[in-house]
Amino acid sequence: AEAAKLEAEVVALRNQAARDAAELERHRATAATARRSADAAQAERDACAAELEAVALREVDALQAEVASLRREKRRADALRDELAATRARLAAASSDASDNEAAARDLRAAQLGLEAARRAAAAAARAHRARLDAAAAADRDHRRE
């Protein structure tokens, strides 16, 4: 009876050991599944991080290109502003020159009028002188005839 009891206890222990081994195998399988899931999740996180990094790098590149474009536009705007200032200065100088030209034209017209008046006066003086010479010549002829 003792042997049967021991035999039953050994069978029970073997059955328990088999159940424990099966449970251990289930735990190992569950742990392996958990590890595979964790590895897959880590791989997915790594892929997401790599994708986010690529998107961030593309955004940085796009922003740098936009900054470069804005700098070019600023240089162009500055050049246009300088050109506008130079044009305004030339326009002011031309306006001043036009005023000077108008004054010079008035002075020239006044000089031309003065010259014309002087010519008329000279012509009148020449006619008067010629008339005096003619009168003197006529008087001399008359005087010689007498």
Helix/strand/coil (H/E/C) assignment for every residue in the chain: CHHHHHHHHHHHHHHHHHHHHHHHHHHHHHHHHHHHHHHHHHHHHHHHHHHHHHHHHHHHHHHHHHHHHHHHHHHHHHHHHHHHHHHHHHHHHHHHHHHHHHHHHHHHHHHHHHHHHHHHHHHHHHHHHHHHHHHHHHHHHHHHHC
pLDDT digits (tens, 9 = 90+) for 81-136: 999 999 999 888 887 777 887 888 888 888 888 888 888 988 888 898 889 888 88
The CA distance from 94 to 53, in Å, is: 60
The CA distance from 93 to 78, in Å, is: 22
pTM: 0.45
Residue 144, pLDDT > 80, answer: no
Note the pLDDT of residue 99: 80
Residue 45, pLDDT > 80, answer: yes
The percent of residues above 90 in pLDDT, for the chain, comes to 58
Residue 146, pLDDT > 90, answer: no
Q: What are phi and psi for residue 121, nearest 5 degrees? A: -65, -40
Mean per-residue pLDDT over the chain, rounded? 91
Q: What are phi and psi for residue 2, nearest 5 degrees? A: -65, -40
